[in-house]
């Protein structure tokens, strides 16, 4: 997103890859994928020109409209209408609860008249933008230690599902929950969309660790906003509309 744009213009003005997957009607997904695809994507995310050069819409001074609530040992940002019939779990990127992410959740809640929650799944241990690009040994070491701290995204699902169980108890008016993730959070959203998922719909923006097998396992409709920084060989296995001139990222840090 350009510095003069605001988050409300995302849908209309950004040239993004968009694909929608409904597993019940779309069964022709290629099953092949390699670890090199994933490695290439991680490197692309680290070196993204947009990540390094485009300023956020709001650098400082944004006043979040939500509030924080405690779910066991996890802080959860809550925004929007707590009497709504629609609920969204927003999974942040590796940079955590940044002002831009909170702003996006506030706008999403306002535009949809929905309840939106962002669980602090990393418990405050998040990436430092100063590590990227990892062009020194010190930066590389810090980034590698952080990735090791995050570990396997599958390990995050149990905490996510526990939060959703409690959210359903706290807000019984919500008739259906969706999940949307940003970059690293997009991987979590994709993994949470498989068999026996508690979510009705899911999505992700500038997806992290995009893999064809994740889409194969989806049992709910899913939308992905991808850019030219994602691996084309994986995108082409899944996408019905790819616009390769978009930049990464644009929905979280920008």
Residue 92 lies in a domain: yes
For the chain, how many structural domains are there in total? 1
**Which residue range(s) make up the domain with 226?**
52-241
Please give the structure tokens belonging to residue 111. 């535009």
Residue 132 lies in a domain: yes
pLDDT of 42 > 60? The answer is no
Strand 74-80 relative to strand 86-91, pairing: unpaired
Secondary structure class of 33 (helix, strand, coil): coil
How deeply is 146 buried, as exposed, middle or buried, from its count of CB atoms within 10 A (0-12, 13-18, 19+)? middle
Residue 217 lies in a domain: yes
pLDDT value of residue 45 = 45
- Strand partners for 75: 70
Tell me what the pLDDT averaged over the chain comes to. 76
Give residue 150's pLDDT band: very low, low, confident or very high (50, 70, 90): confident
Q: In this predicted model, which residue has the larger pLDDT, 54 or 236?
A: 236
Q: Is the dihedral of CA 135, 136, 142, 145 positive or negative?
A: positive
Q: Which residues contact 54 (CB under 8 A, 6 or more apart)?
A: 1, 2, 3, 247, 254
The C-alpha atoms of residue 159 and residue 247 are separated, in whole angstroms, by: 31
Task: For 54-111, write each residue's pLDDT tens digit.
Answer: 555 665 688 999 999 999 899 999 999 999 999 999 999 988 999 989 999 999 999 9
Residue 227 lies in a domain: yes
Give residue 147's pLDDT band: very low, low, confident or very high (50, 70, 90): confident
Residue 232 lies in a domain: yes
How deeply is 20 buried, as exposed, middle or buried, from its count of CB atoms within 10 A (0-12, 13-18, 19+)? middle
In 3D, which of 104, 25, 112 has the Cα closest to residue 64?
Answer: 104
pLDDT of 254 > 80? The answer is no
The C-alpha atoms of residue 111 and residue 102 are separated, in whole angstroms, by: 14
Q: What is the CATH number of the domain that holds 216?
A: 3.40.50.1820
Residue 96 lies in a domain: yes
Residue 18 lies in a domain: no
Residue 151 lies in a domain: yes
């Amino acid at each position: 997103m350009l510095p003069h744009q605001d988050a409300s213009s995302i849908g209309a003005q950004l040239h993004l890859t968009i694909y929608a997957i409904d597993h019940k009607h779309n069964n022709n997904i290629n099953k092949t994928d390699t670890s090199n695809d994933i490695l290439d994507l991680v490197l692309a995310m680290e070196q993204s020109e947009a990540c390094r050069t485009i300023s956020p819409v709001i650098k400082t001074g944004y006043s979040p409209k939500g509030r924080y609530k405690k779910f066991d040992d996890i802080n959860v940002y809550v925004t929007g209408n707590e009497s709504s019939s629609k609920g969204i779990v927003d999974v942040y990127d590796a940079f955590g609860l940044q002002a831009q992410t909170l702003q996006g959740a506030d706008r999403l809640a306002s535009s949809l008249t929905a309840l939106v929650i962002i669980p602090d799944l990393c418990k405050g241990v998040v990436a430092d933008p100063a590590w990227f690009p990892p062009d020194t040994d010190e930066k590389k070491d810090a980034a590698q230690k952080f990735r090791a701290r995050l570990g396997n995204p599958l390990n995050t699902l149990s905490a996510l599902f526990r939060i959703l169980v409690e959210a359903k108890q706290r807000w019984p008016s919500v008739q259906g929950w969706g999940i949307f993730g940003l970059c690293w959070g997009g991987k979590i959203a994709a993994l949470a969309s498989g068999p026996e998922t508690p979510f009705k719909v899911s999505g992700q923006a500038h997806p992290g660790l995009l893999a064809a097998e994740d889409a194969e396992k989806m049992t709910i409709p899913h939308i992905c906003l991808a850019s030219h920084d994602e691996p084309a060989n994986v995108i082409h296995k899944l996408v019905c509309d790819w616009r390769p001139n978009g930049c990464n990222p644009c929905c979280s840090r920008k």
